């Protein structure tokens, strides 16, 4: 499906270059609209959550890039954060796909996703980065919980979406928070007894 969409976009670009600006002259056919049953508050919440996932992805990307610097050289931390950036981006993509399934992708993508500005791009050490990562996950989790509360409340009762968010997203968030908390505890113990050597050894085992 992704390859098909990419092929269509490529054909559109080639056609535009060959023939200039063009518009489709076909009228949108009238079809029943009863299946479009998502309500405004839930749709807005989904859009907000997509942006939260993209924001987290960019922040993790900045963290990975920092620890990948030759002057920092912590490949374990870099891989951890690059992987997290990919996961958050995939979360955002899956939510976009869900909106598409429910017939709610009616705007330009620029009205759906804004490219975020990364506020922080350097860290004192690995422990401070893991603390920021845990805080970031907590923020995303709170946003998901708020979205669930909105979409399951009356008169919305979007049971399918709530089940999806709870069983997939919230489950992964809770496991992720526990994993980061455990790693942070271990790293701080190692640094308290071995200093920078402790961080070096921890990085090697990430």
Q: For residues 133 and 3, what is the distance between their CA atoms, to the nearest angstrom? A: 33
Q: For residues 103 and 37, is the Cβ–Cβ distance under 8 A?
A: no
The answer to whether residue 155 sits within a structural domain is yes
**pLDDT at position 20:** 54
The answer to whether residue 25 sits within a structural domain is no
CA pseudo-torsion sign 119, 121, 122, 126: positive
The answer to whether residue 10 sits within a structural domain is no
CA nearest 91: which of 123, 59, 56, 127? 56
The answer to whether residue 19 sits within a structural domain is no
The answer to whether residue 15 sits within a structural domain is no
Q: For residues 73 and 25, what is the distance between their CA atoms, to the nearest angstrom? A: 56
Task: Write the burial class of residue 137 (CB in 10 Å: 0-12 exposed, 13-18 middle, 19+ buried).
Answer: buried
pLDDT digits (tens, 9 = 90+) for 127-178: 999 999 999 999 999 999 999 999 988 776 788 999 999 999 999 999 999 9
The answer to whether residue 21 sits within a structural domain is no
pLDDT digits (tens, 9 = 90+) for 4-16: 544 544 445 445 5
Is residue 53 a known part of a binding site? yes
**pLDDT at position 153:** 83
CATH of the domain at 98: 1.20.1260.10
Number of domain units in the chain:
1
Expressed as residue numbers, the domain containing 42 is 37-204
**pLDDT at position 105:** 79
Report the b/e string of 38-60 with b at 16+ CB within 10 A: beeebbebbbebbbbbbbbbbbb
Is residue 199 a known part of a binding site? no
The answer to whether residue 8 sits within a structural domain is no
Is residue 91 a known part of a binding site? yes
Which residue has tokens 């004192």? 124
Which whole number is the average pLDDT over 109-136?
Answer: 91
The answer to whether residue 16 sits within a structural domain is no
pTM of the predicted protein model: 0.82
pLDDT digits (tens, 9 = 90+) for 54-111: 999 999 999 999 999 999 999 999 999 999 999 999 999 999 999 988 888 776 667 7
């Amino acid at each position: 499906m992704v390859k098909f969409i990419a092929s269509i976009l490529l054909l559109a670009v080639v056609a535009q270059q060959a023939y200039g600006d063009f518009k489709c002259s076909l009228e949108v056919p009238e079809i029943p609209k009863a299946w479009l049953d998502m309500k405004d508050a839930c749709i807005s919440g989904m859009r907000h959550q997509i942006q939260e996932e993209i924001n987290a992805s960019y922040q993790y990307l900045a963290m990975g890039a920092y620890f990948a610097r030759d002057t920092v050289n912590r490949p374990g931390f870099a891989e951890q954060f690059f992987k997290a950036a990919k996961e958050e981006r995939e979360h955002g993509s899956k939510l976009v796909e869900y909106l598409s399934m429910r017939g709610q992708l009616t705007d330009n993508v620029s009205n759906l996703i804004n490219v975020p500005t990364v506020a922080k791009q350097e860290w004192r050490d690995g422990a401070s980065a893991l603390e920021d990562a845990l805080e970031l996950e907590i923020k995303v989790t709170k946003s998901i919980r708020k979205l669930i509360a909105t979409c399951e409340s009356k008169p919305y009762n979007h049971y399918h979406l709530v089940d999806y968010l709870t069983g997939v997203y919230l489950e992964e968030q809770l496991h992720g928070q526990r994993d980061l908390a455990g790693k942070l505890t271990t790293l701080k113990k190692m640094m308290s007894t071995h200093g920078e050597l402790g961080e070096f050894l921890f990085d090697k085992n990430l």
